[in-house]
Amino acid sequence: MAQPAIGELLSMLDSPTLGVRDDVTAIFKESLSSDRSPMLVNTLVDYYLETNSQPALHILTTLQEPHDKHLLDKINEYVGKAATRLSILLLLGHVVRLQPSWKHKLSQAPLLPSLLKCLKVDTDVIVLTTGVLVLITMLPMIPQSGKQHLLDFFDIFGRLSSWCLKKPGHVTEIYLVHLHASVYALFHRLYGMYPCNFVSFLRSHYSMKENLETFEEVVKPMMEHVRIHPELVTGSKDHELDPRRWKRLETHDVVIECAKISLDPTEASYEDGYSVSHQLSARFPHRPADITTSPYVDTQNSYGSTTSAPYSASRLMLFSTPGQLPQNLSSPSTRLLTEPLQATLWSPSMICGMTTPPTSPGNVPPDLLHPYSKVFGTAGGKGTPLGTPATSPPPVPLCHPDDCVHNSVSQAIATPPRKEERTDLARPCLHRQHHLPNDRGLEELPGNKGSVTLSDLPGFLGDLASEEDSIEKDKEEAAISKELSEITTSEADPVVPRGGFDSPFYRDSLPGSQRKTHSATSGTQGSSVNPEPLHSSLDKRGPDTPKQAFTPIDPPSGGADASSAGDRDRQTSLETSILTPSPCKIPLQRGVGFGSGQPPPYDHLFEVALPKTARHFVSKKTQELLKKVKGSPEEDYVPSTSPMEVLDRLIQQGADAHSKELSKLSLPSKSVDWTHFGGSPPSDEIRTLRDQLLLLHNQLLYERFKRQQHALRNRRLLRKVIRAAALEEHNAAMKDQLKLQEKDIQMWKVSLQKEQARYSQLQEQRDTMVTQLHSQIKQLQHDREEFYNQSQELQTKLEDCRSMITELRLELKKANNKVCHTELLLSQVSQKLSNSESVQQQMEFLNRQLLVLGEVNELYLEQLQNKHSDTTKEVEMMKTAYRKELEKNRSHLLQQNQRLDTSQKRILELESLLAKKDHLLLEQKKYLEDVKSQASGQLLASESRYEAQRKITQVFELEILDLYGRLEKDGLLRKVEGEKAEAAAAVAEDRLDCCNDGCSDSLVGHNDEASGHNGEAKTPKAYSSTRSSCGGRGAGGGNSSSELSTPEKPPNQRFSSRWETTIGEPSTSIPTTVGSLPSSKSFLGMKARELFRNKSESQCDEDGLTISSLSETLKTELGKDLGVEAKIPLNLDGPHPSPPNPDSVGQLRIMDYNEAHHEHS
């Protein structure tokens, strides 16, 4: 955007058309948001400084983040220049008051030090005042960062406070008032924010002598308007500079914090009570109006009746005729009016001029929400001794209209006496106190919800009227009625100024001051500086308002509307206005009232209530004030009055004067007016006025800023209250639920009880049943037992009977037995009888025999005596014979015994011998066994040997036969040769024929015998040798003998063996060789021949028998010979078994012969 374009736009900014202005503003904002260069801002600032253009200001104040630095730089730049300092400070004030989002940067900006520097060095009061106000505005925004400039702040404070007194240069008094007010504000701010540091600063700074005066004159009065800061007790220098402390607090919090410690009603804030009352009115717009009637009436009436003071009247007038307010602007009574309007900071203690902390009306409003009983308790607890308890009754009825009306009434009645008893001073306080909530309640209702409450007001007031009867006295009633009639006449007045008031209000650029002036113009006759007429008018007017209020019919609806509108205006305007009178004025006013010689009806009450000193004080103040008001309000002020107050008054007076001048002169020639005050020279009158205006504007802006802070806080608190209310509601709902549940529980309990009762009843029934049944059972059991007993008895009886029967039976048996026995006895007896009879007979017989025998005995005795002598000799002979015989036998016995002994001994000996023999025998047997086994072992060995021998022999024979076989084959070949020797062979055959026969026989027999004999008698060796020697022959002989012994048998059968097949032929073929052998053994041959001959003979004769007999005979004869004979051949054969050929040949030959013989035979 080009420069000229900007210039054009800037010029267009102030164009009269709204649309263009808006467009341009939009363009600027757009370019600001797009462009980050400081150029535009600088241009704007310059433009604003040049033209003081509102749209430019608007744009500048709403600058966004990136441009803040440029702006601040620019401002800083201009602050340095003395020419532009004021305007730039104004701009800064505007900017700061709007609390831009970058406000925290203020502390870091170079602007702050330069501002402080400016405040320290500048001498222009206007600049100083403006700067101080800006600084005060800034302080809560930068609480923690401002600490490094703390000393600067304090220095500034010190400088300016001294300024207030010393008036360096030619500063106008009027300016000083402003300066003082701002210093006062600074004091408050610094004390509120940094109490410890500040106090220490004060201590150090004013301990110096040169500053002592300043302290006495300026600072000390200021300190009267603050209470002890709690931080002074709990905090420390460091702690209050701690950023943590400030972090939690927002700007408005800081402001309120500062306001809290103020005792100055214009400054102080009782935000708690305030906010709650707000809330109250917001929540119960209708009800309070109706409900609070009775207490109001009560207090009102009592007030009105007892006092009917203009004060009360004027107050009542408040809600009905706010429009009339400007009329009383200059009069103290108006301050009474404005005071409650301002912030309900009215306190009886202030009335009394006491510096005790104000009774906290803030405590009351929360109680309004609570039921009466609670409130009562809390009210008592919270109430300050001065009369807060009394404040509690009014809120009570708010919640419980019906009950609390009377309660509150009684309370209201009851409390005053109580207060009276306590202190006289408390009494008026009490009345005021009562009044206070009323006022506030009524005020605020119109203030916030004006339209509603105001419409209700007539009804409410009517109620008041209706109820007042019961309490008021007749006299008071009459007074009121009289007043009402009076008011009707002047009723037109309030309406007129209202209209006049409205119009100029909109016209003025500076509403506060302008309006005042307008109201002043529209004001009635009270234009004079003299308060007397004001009072009179006030006295007249006071009743006016009640009248209007008490007669709802009278005021027109339009009037009511108008009043409400006016009220609203007043509310806004007054609250923001600088017209903040200190409560201290109230007694003064009253004093004025008293002093005016028109004692109000409650005057006597004050007489009683206020102590002498107080009254004196009041009167004195009044005098002073009068003087001040009349003369020069700016020249001096009572130290106890707040600078604000003074400023206030100044403005009012100035406004009055101005209006007067205006009424007098159509043209604003103010120099004339101000000369009347005797202030500054008329030449710079206008400039002064302008400056003053500026200052006032500044002040106004500052106050507005404060108001905004309050509003902010209010909103927040309201939110909290709403939340609390919601919780409350919720609680109530919960309680209801709880109640319902409790009811339920109750019901359940009741039903439970019922059930229990029923249950117990049933139980009882059951019990009774059970007991009944038990008793029945018992009875039955009893019966049963009885029956049982009976049956037992019967059984016993039965048994008795049975036993009796058995007994009887037994007896019967016994009797039977007895009978039988007796019968038996009888038979026995009869038998015995017969026996005895027979015995008697025998006895008789025996007796007879006895007799006979006796006779015989006698006979024999006689015979015996005759024969006794012959027998004795014979007996003796026999005896001796017997004795001899006995002796003989005895000796014989002895002999026998001896013999027996010996024989027994012998038997023993023999037995032992026998045992020995047995043992021996056993041993022998054992030995024999042993030997036997040994022998058998040997025998076995020898047998095996024998077997082996046999086998050997067999092998040999086999071999021999084999050889023979071979020989025969050879022999066939040599047959021719053999025929030659045939003749010789035949001769030999004949010769040996018989010989061989016999020999072979004998041999066989001999062999048999020998074998049989040798087996038993001969030693094994001999035996074996014979065996072995004879074996060869025996084999052959065996065959031949068997053949010989059984000649009947067919010979071919015998020789079916393989031996014969091979041997048969050769045996026949070699007879010659055999025949030669026996010749060598001539003796044997001879014998054999003999034997064989015999044998053959006997054989022919007697067969086998002869042979056996022959052998037997031979045995005996040739027993020994044979042994010898046998040995010889044995000796021949035994040692030479290998050449048995000749022998075997001989044998074979014999055998052969036998064969031949057999064949022949």
Partner 1 sequence: MSEDSQRNFRSVYYEKVGFRGVEEKKSLEILLKDDRLDIEKLCTFSQRFPLPSMYRALVWKVLLGILPPHHESHAQVMTYRKDQYSDILHALKVVRFISDTTPQVEVYLRMYQLECGKLPRSPSFPLEPDDEVFLAIAKAMEEMVEDSVDCYWIIRCFVGQLNTKHRDSLPQLPKAFEQYLNVEDSRLLSHLKTCSAMSRLPYDLWFKRCFAGCLPESSLQRVWDKVVSGSCKILVFVAVEILLTFKIKVMALNSAEKITKFLENIPQDSSDAIVSKAIDLWHKHCGTPVHSA
On whether the CB atoms of residues 93 and 137 are closer than 8 A, the answer is yes
Closer to partner 1 by Cβ: residue 729 or 930:
930
Q: What is the nearest approach in angstroms of partner 1 to the Cβ of residue 1013?
A: 24
As beta bridge partners, residue 226 has 262
Closer to partner 1 by Cβ: residue 26 or 958:
958
**Which pair of tokens denotes residue 232?**
């002074």
Among 945, 966, 991, 1058, the residue binding partner 1 under the rule CB under 8 A is 945
Closer to partner 1 by Cβ: residue 238 or 930:
930
Q: What is the nearest approach in angstroms of partner 1 to the Cβ of residue 1022?
A: 16
| Residue where the block lists tokens 């009983």 | 373
The alpha carbon torsion through 257, 263, 264, 270 (nearest 10 deg) reads 50
- Closest by CA to 80, choosing from 40, 53, 117, 132, is 117
Q: Is 978 in the site for partner 1 (CB under 8 A)?
A: no
Distance CA 482, CA 1161 (A): 225
Cα separation of the two ends of the chain: 195
CA within 13 Å, CB half, 531: 28
On whether the CB atoms of residues 1092 and 1008 are closer than 8 A, the answer is no
- Choose the binding region for partner 1 from 61-69, 343-351, 945-953, 1081-1089 (rule: CB under 8 A): 945-953
Which residues contact residue 394 at a Cβ distance below 8 angstroms, ignoring those fewer than 6 apart? 292, 295, 296, 299, 364, 408, 434, 437, 438, 441
Among 942, 1068, 1069, 1076, the residue binding partner 1 under the rule CB under 8 A is 942
Among 50, 947, 1103, 1159, the residue binding partner 1 under the rule CB under 8 A is 947
Q: Is 954 in the site for partner 1 (CB under 8 A)?
A: yes
Burial of 584 (0-12, 13-18, 19+ CB in 10 A): buried
Closer to partner 1 by Cβ: residue 861 or 948:
948
Q: Which of residues 919-938 bind partner 1 (CB under 8 A)?
A: 930, 933-934, 937-938
- Choose the binding region for partner 1 from 71-79, 302-310, 825-833, 947-955 (rule: CB under 8 A): 947-955
Closer to partner 1 by Cβ: residue 958 or 987:
958
Closer to partner 1 by Cβ: residue 744 or 943:
943
- Closest by CA to 342, choosing from 318, 367, 360, 312, is 318
Among 726, 907, 952, 984, the residue binding partner 1 under the rule CB under 8 A is 952
Q: What is the nearest approach in angstroms of partner 1 to the Cβ of residue 966?
A: 14
Distance CA 334, CA 574 (A): 11
Q: Where are the alpha helices (DSSP H) in 508-584?
A: 511-522, 531-550, 557-576
- Closest by CA to 255, choosing from 719, 717, 711, 715, is 711
Burial of 1065 (0-12, 13-18, 19+ CB in 10 A): middle
| Residue where the block lists tokens 């100083």 | 128
- Choose the binding region for partner 1 from 8-16, 44-52, 719-727, 946-954 (rule: CB under 8 A): 946-954
- Closest by CA to 523, choosing from 326, 335, 321, is 326
Q: What is the nearest approach in angstroms of partner 1 to the Cβ of residue 955?
A: 5
Closer to partner 1 by Cβ: residue 672 or 935:
935
Closer to partner 1 by Cβ: residue 505 or 956:
956
Closer to partner 1 by Cβ: residue 617 or 956:
956
- Choose the binding region for partner 1 from 57-65, 460-468, 505-513, 942-950 (rule: CB under 8 A): 942-950
Q: Is 941 in the site for partner 1 (CB under 8 A)?
A: yes
Distance CA 127, CA 986 (A): 214
Closer to partner 1 by Cβ: residue 242 or 929:
929
Q: Is 956 in the site for partner 1 (CB under 8 A)?
A: yes
Distance CA 129, CA 171 (A): 12
Q: What is the nearest approach in angstroms of partner 1 to the Cβ of residue 1029?
A: 15
Closer to partner 1 by Cβ: residue 687 or 932:
932
Total binding residues for partner 1 by CB under 8 A? Answer: 20
Helix %, strand %, coil % of the chain (to 5): 85, 0, 15
Q: What is the nearest approach in angstroms of partner 1 to the Cβ of residue 1161?
A: 36
- Choose the binding region for partner 1 from 645-653, 669-677, 749-757, 950-958 (rule: CB under 8 A): 950-958
Q: What is the nearest approach in angstroms of partner 1 to the Cβ of residue 989?
A: 33
Q: What is the nearest approach in angstroms of partner 1 to the Cβ of residue 962?
A: 9
Contact letters (x/-) for partner 1, 871-910, by CB under 8 A? ----------------------------------------
Contact letters (x/-) for partner 1, 465-494, by CB under 8 A? ------------------------------
Q: Where are the alpha helices (DSSP H) in 261-400?
A: 271-283, 287-291, 293-306, 310-320, 332-343, 348-351, 364-369, 372-382, 388-391
Q: What is the nearest approach in angstroms of partner 1 to the Cβ of residue 946?
A: 9
- Closest by CA to 40, choosing from 14, 79, 66, is 66
Closer to partner 1 by Cβ: residue 481 or 933:
933
Distance CA 193, CA 232 (A): 11
**Which pair of tokens denotes residue 957?**
């024979």
Q: What is the nearest approach in angstroms of partner 1 to the Cβ of residue 1099?
A: 37
On whether the CB atoms of residues 275 and 369 are closer than 8 A, the answer is no
- Choose the binding region for partner 1 from 118-126, 318-326, 586-594, 956-964 (rule: CB under 8 A): 956-964
Closer to partner 1 by Cβ: residue 20 or 958:
958
Closer to partner 1 by Cβ: residue 832 or 945:
945
Distance CA 104, CA 112 (A): 12
Among 26, 733, 750, 940, the residue binding partner 1 under the rule CB under 8 A is 940
Q: Is 951 in the site for partner 1 (CB under 8 A)?
A: yes
Q: What is the nearest approach in angstroms of partner 1 to the Cβ of residue 1051?
A: 28
Q: What is the nearest approach in angstroms of partner 1 to the Cβ of residue 1024?
A: 10
Closer to partner 1 by Cβ: residue 727 or 941:
941
Burial of 286 (0-12, 13-18, 19+ CB in 10 A): middle
Distance CA 232, CA 191 (A): 10
Q: What is the nearest approach in angstroms of partner 1 to the Cβ of residue 926?
A: 11
Q: Which residues bind partner 1 (CB under 8 A)?
A: 930, 933-934, 937-938, 940-942, 944-945, 947-949, 951-952, 954-956, 958-959
